[in-house]
Structures are given as C-alpha cells and as structure tokens.
Amino acid sequence: MLAAVGSENDDGFRAYVDAVDSRRWYGEDVRVLRAAMPPTDASVLFVADDIAVATPDFPILVVDLRDGRPPFRCIAAELWAVDNNLNVSNMDWEDFADAVDQKGVYRGLI
C-alpha cells in the first residue's frame, strides 16, 4: 500500500504523506482521529484501516480535517490527486467526494 501511495504517476505527481503505524489508533472512530490531530496546515487525514488493507487497490479512508464533512475512500494509486489538490486548495472536497463510484471510492477522474 505504501509503495502505491508513494509512487509517482506518469506526470511525476505523488502523495506526500507521513505514515503512522500505531496500534493505539486501530479501530478508532473518525471523530476520535480528527480530535487527536495536532494543529496542522493539512486539510485531510488518510486512514489505512482494515478495509483499505484487505481490499484490492487499497481504498484508503480520506477524512476532512477542516469542516468535518463525511469521509470517502480513494484507491492508493490516486491518493496523489487528493493530497496534492486538497492541501493546496486547488480543488474542493466535493470535486472528489462527488466523483466516487457506487461503493464510495474515488478512482480518479475519468
């Protein structure tokens, strides 16, 4: 999963994330994770939960840190788009959340 997240796409873009692997956070509710975040300029938190780890394409949970909007999932290979665009306010949350498939997973712009 981390290799897919950190790999550059054909245009040289990749997600810039810091991985935290701690049993302390396993199974925690999104509200608890939001509240535990230290002050940051980041607008999103990416959560590799049991679903992300056990599912092909690694659909990582994308959590809004600014406005508390409902999370959506993004496959690991497309996480660069969410990370790059939301953290610099190039695109809005709805641009991604409204583009998810029937399972609630963002798979890239078509």
Domain with 82 in it: 2-106
The arithmetic mean of pLDDT across residues 91-101, rounded, is 95
Number of compact structural domains in the chain? 1
- Does the model's pTM come out above 0.85? yes
Q: Decide: 57 and 78 in contact? Cβ < 8 Å.
A: no
Lowest-confidence pick of 45-49, 55-59, 87-91, 99-103: 87-91
The C-alpha atoms of residue 108 and residue 96 are separated, in whole angstroms, by: 8
Q: Which residue has the tokens 């939001």?
A: 34
pLDDT in the model for residue 110: 64
Ordered strands of the 105-106 beta sheet: 44-47, 59-64, 72-75, 105-106
